[in-house]
Structure 1
Amino acid sequence: MGCANLLRLIQKNKRAASEYLFIAPFFHPALPVYHEDATEQSTDRTDVDYTVFDKKVMLLMTLYKMNIHRFNDRTVAEIPDEFNKSEKLTLSFRLLASRFLDKIPPELLSDIKDRVSIYVGSKDEVLLHDEFKRYVKEHWNVEVHIIQETDHNHILHHPQLHEEWAGK
């Protein structure tokens, strides 16, 4: 389940799960915890090469904020198909917008902090792990666990993550 879906679940019913696990989460693009080029994935340092049509996103976001949803199905991003290298998948504005809450309530994780686990890689190319750790501690009083020598895309397969999570 994606980060926004977990946050929506927590917002709706905090008792829905006994534990909430966030791995390399992208909580909201407005948070000051991301590399400046976090959305520019066409660099050599990552294995994901996608295109976001920024002007189209801004225009559709303006319409969305004006409660005009007629164009929400328009394509705003292209993502390579990992199973067919010659194909591209498309992402609609509606799906892109659903990846984030409009805003994250400041108290969202504070009162369930004992049931929240957050893991980030020390070489994460999206999150600035030290800033993220500080932000999460200050705003929600939740600890962020740093998994050494792994990045945003490979943290799921890292043995340290599995060992730490199994030890909980």
Structure 2
Amino acid sequence: MRLITSTFTFSDSAVIPYYEIESQERDKTKTVIVGIHGLMSDLDYWQRLADNLTVLASVDVHLPILRGYTNAETKKGDIPNAGQYDNDLVEILQELEHEYERIVLIGHSTGAANVCRILNAGRLPVKTEKIILAAPFLHPALPVNREISNQENGSDSWAVYSKRAKLYHIWANINPFFQGRAPVVKVPVRDVPYDASSQVYPYELSYRLVMSRFIDLKYTNWQLFAKSSVFIGSADEVIDSEKLKQLWKDKTGTDMHTVDSEDHNSLLTSPPFMQHILESVRLL
């Protein structure tokens, strides 16, 4: 296993941190796994998953840090336009099509919603042969999410500025062109994302960034997600697993996998989840 710290430059010249974990059988690798992170607390789990996968299978794992998460000077994240991540993910996948024969796309938490967005838009590149969704946090308005402790004054780690978020949501419903630039969420972010010893500081995310990490409930065709493999931990502290399973069944007509005793993040490193990825890669 070899971790390569790199960058990815988009067509608008924006640059993001980009991490590549190479397979031990690098010369034989024709498959790449692309992992899309959640709001930000899952990076250690992604790295452990990637380390294991590159040892156990002939795959490379690529872990981009999404746009808007690395402004260390202001400690405030924003994106140029609502829905920016749709274009960004498509650009990343299209670039990988030049290097690999097969792409496995895995989204965790809000990263799963980003994957669903490009699925819904019909923009998935041809070589993306497998979609896996882990603990999908698809939209805060869905009746499957657990109550989040609200901290209007914030803390050193997590906070949701609910009054502003609700006000912005009302404005967005009135004016579809509304662009909320002020922060509505605070998350812990590392100065160097995949370095466990790196400094952690509170980081605020704008309304349009956060909402671009969820599906659009008005224009989502759930049937397009039916062929995805979906996993949820029975001990998920963010999503009620039973409610999500029922919602998914009602919307897509398919079942999702439950992994006993795993929470929102630990699901990523659970043996059943890892085994499913390995089996999926072997079947491609």
Q: Determine if the TM-score, normalized by the shorter chain, exceeds 0.5.
A: yes
Distance 2:218 2:274 in 1: 28
Secondary structure at the residue paired with 1:138? helix
Secondary structure at the residue paired with 1:62? helix
1:60 aligns with 2:181: no
Deviating 4+ runs (over 6 angstroms): none
Determine which structure has the larger strand proportion and give its number.
2
Give the aligned CA root-mean-square deviation in angstroms. Answer: 2.5
Q: Note the C-alpha offset of 1:57.
A: 0.9
Secondary structure at the residue paired with 2:129? coil
Q: Note the C-alpha offset of 1:15.
A: 5.7
1:36-51 matches, within 5 Å, as 37=147, 39-40=148-149, 49-51=157-159
Look up the match of 1:79.
187
1:6 aligns with 2:115: yes
Query: Residue by residue, what CA displacement relative to the aligned partner does 1:112-164 show, whole Å, maximum 9, x if unpaired?
Result: 62x31000111111121122112211220122101122100111111221012
Tell which has more relative contact order, 1 or 2 (C-alpha 8 A, sep 6+).
1
Q: Which has the larger radius of gyration?
A: 2
1:21 aligns with 2:136: no
1:131-142 matches, within 5 Å, as 131-142=243-254
Distance 1:145 1:104 in 2: 26
Instruction: Note the residue ranges of structure 2 that are not aligned, 5 or more in a row.
Output: 1-35, 37-110, 191-197
Q: Note the C-alpha offset of 1:14.
A: 6.6
Distance 1:15 1:60 in 2: 30
Instruction: Note the residue ranges of structure 1 that are not aligned, 5 or more in a row.
Output: 43-47
Query: Residue by residue, what CA displacement relative to the aligned partner does 1:9-49 show, whole Å, maximum 9, x if unpaired?
Result: 111217633222110001122222222x2x2288xxxxx94
1:100 aligns with 2:208: no
| Percent of paired sites with the same residue | 26
